[in-house]
């Protein structure tokens, strides 16, 4: 049985050019029929922002301006395709940094107007979710997520638990009351003097540490599907101060491993509880934090649910996910006009 309400274009391929500039990655991609990656270009600004310990918004938008034309050109060349062969342009409309979003939006509008191609504004979080529908090269192993499903989006700015009954239909179950999961990784990395971006740095240190060295709190928030990471962050801060007052080197690896275990535990426990309560068939986990190996292991080391997590390269920001979400939006009939504005605080539901 096919759950998708959308007919896959069988006789004619639908090729979407995706453009993503919501934060510090200038990304473009061409995706065929929402599944096959024809090109994937990411110009990262990580080195530029590392000196500030986080993303500097004005610098981010100006860096996008410098490379946006080149990365669009590269995506078309890598896909061996002309702009005239593109069926629609999908661009991130929000959420994200306004000045950064505007760069991608204006590029998309210029291309759409110049080549008379339909334009689609895409929610960045929908993009993260739809990265679970992209077919990896290793097609044998691919299984399409089945509805109803529970989706956990864990990224730099969001921790969202959603129920999806069908394509493009979302019911928000819960979100974070304070820090997003990725934000917590980034803040704790700073506390431990680990380099930006914090997630990969914590993971690296955690690989060398004891996850049970410290017992950090997991906010249960009984009766809700919300998360909270500020208490955990404060507990790490308190422990760091206490250890610092005794002198000597900070046990960074043990602190990182114990923190990571607490975050993973909170995310995994709530997601499985929701999947059971809402009789989900499958689970989808997406967003930058889904690149975390401990999180991936905790989700896949069980047999109750099939858990779909994008390949590592598609967890953090990219334009393949925007083109893929764009395919489903295109098939649903969405078309946006040239008056479309960016929407920096656009909620997914
Ligand atoms: N291996 C990892 N372990 C834990 N966190 C990670 C890992 N890799 C990346 N991250 C975290 O993922 C976040 C970046 O993800 P992403 O690019 O999706 O966020 P964003 O686009 O800035 O935010 P949003 O998608 O909410 O707008 C950062 O907070 C980063 O620390
Ligand atoms: Mg993101």
- How far is residue 93's CA from residue 28's CA, in Å, rounded to a whole number? 14
Ligand 1 atom nearest residue 96's Cα: 27
- Read off φ and ψ for residue 277, nearest 5 degrees: -60, -35
According to DSSP, the β-strands at 36-44 and 88-94 are unpaired
CB distance 167 to 333 below 8 Å: no
Q: Where are the alpha helices (DSSP H) in the chain?
A: 46-50, 57-78, 98-115, 124-130, 181-191, 198-206, 230-245, 252-277, 293-300, 320-331
CB-proximal residues (5 Å) to ion ligand 2: 155, 317
- C-alpha 75 – ligand 2 centre gap (Å): 20
Give the pLDDT of residue 9.
45
Give the pLDDT of residue 305.
96
Residue 209 — pLDDT band, cuts 50, 70, 90?
very high
Give the pLDDT of residue 211.
98
CB distance 314 to 18 below 8 Å: no
pLDDT digits (tens, 9 = 90+) for 233-288: 999 999 999 998 888 899 999 999 999 999 999 999 999 999 999 999 999 999 99
Give the pLDDT of residue 5.
45
- Read off φ and ψ for residue 323, nearest 5 degrees: -65, -35
Q: Which two tokens stand for residue 291?
A: 């690149």
Angle between helices 198-206 and 181-191 (to 10 degrees): 70
The binding-site residues of ligand 1, defined as CB within 6 angstroms of any ligand atom, are 22-23, 95-96, 124, 128, 155-158, 182, 185-186, 197-200, 203, 287-289, 291-292, 316-317
Rounded to 5°, angle at Cα 275 from 92 and 151: 10
Is 0.85 topped by the overall pTM?
yes
**Ligand nearest to the Cα of 181, by number:** 1
pLDDT digits (tens, 9 = 90+) for 8-65: 444 589 999 999 999 999 999 999 999 999 999 999 988 888 888 778 899 999 999 9
Q: Which two tokens stand for residue 238?
A: 């308190």
- C-alpha 78 – ligand 2 centre gap (Å): 23
Give the pLDDT of residue 290.
98
């Amino acid at each position: 049985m096919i759950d998708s309400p959308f007919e896959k274009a069988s006789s004619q391929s639908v090729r979407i050019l995706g453009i993503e500039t919501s934060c510090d990655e200038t990304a473009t991609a061409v995706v065929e029929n929402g599944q096959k990656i024809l090109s994937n270009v990411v110009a990262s600004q990580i080195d530029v922002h590392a000196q500030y310990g986080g993303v500097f918004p004005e610098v981010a938008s100006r860096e996008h301006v410098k490379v946006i034309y080149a990365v669009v050109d590269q995506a078309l060349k890598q896909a061996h395709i002309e702009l005239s062969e593109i069926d629609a342009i999908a661009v991130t409309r929000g959420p994200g940094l306004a000045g950064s979003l505007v760069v991608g939006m204006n590029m998309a509008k210029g291309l759409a107007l110049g080549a008379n191609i339909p334009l689609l504004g895409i929610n960045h979080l929908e993009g993260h979710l739809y990265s679970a529908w992209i077919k990896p090269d290793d097609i044998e192993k691919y299984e399409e997520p089945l509805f109803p499903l529970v989706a956990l989006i864990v990224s730099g700015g969001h921790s969202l638990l959603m129920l999806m009954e069908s394509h493009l239909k979302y019911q928000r179950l819960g979100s974070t009351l304070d820090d997003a999961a990725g934000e917590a990784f980034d803040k704790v990395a700073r506390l431990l003097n680990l380099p930006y971006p914090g997630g990969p740095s914590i993971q690296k240190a955690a690989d060398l540490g004891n996850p049970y060295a410290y017992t950090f709190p997991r906010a249960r928030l009984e009766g809700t599907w919300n998360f909270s990471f500020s208490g955990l962050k404060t507990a790490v801060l308190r422990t760091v101060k206490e250890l610092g007052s005794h002198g000597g080197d900070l046990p960074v690896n043990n602190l990182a491993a114990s923190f990571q275990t607490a975050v993973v535990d909170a995310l995994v426990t709530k997601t499985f509880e929701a999947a059971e309560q809402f009789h989900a068939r499958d689970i989808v986990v997406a967003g930058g934090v889904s690149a975390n190996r401990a999180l991936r292991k905790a989700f896949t080391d069980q047999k109750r649910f099939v858990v779909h997590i994008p390949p590592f390269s598609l967890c953090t920001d990219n334009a393949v996910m925007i083109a893929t979400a764009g395919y489903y939006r295109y098939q649903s009939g969405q078309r946006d006009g040239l008056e479309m504005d960016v929407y920096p605080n656009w909620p997914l539901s």
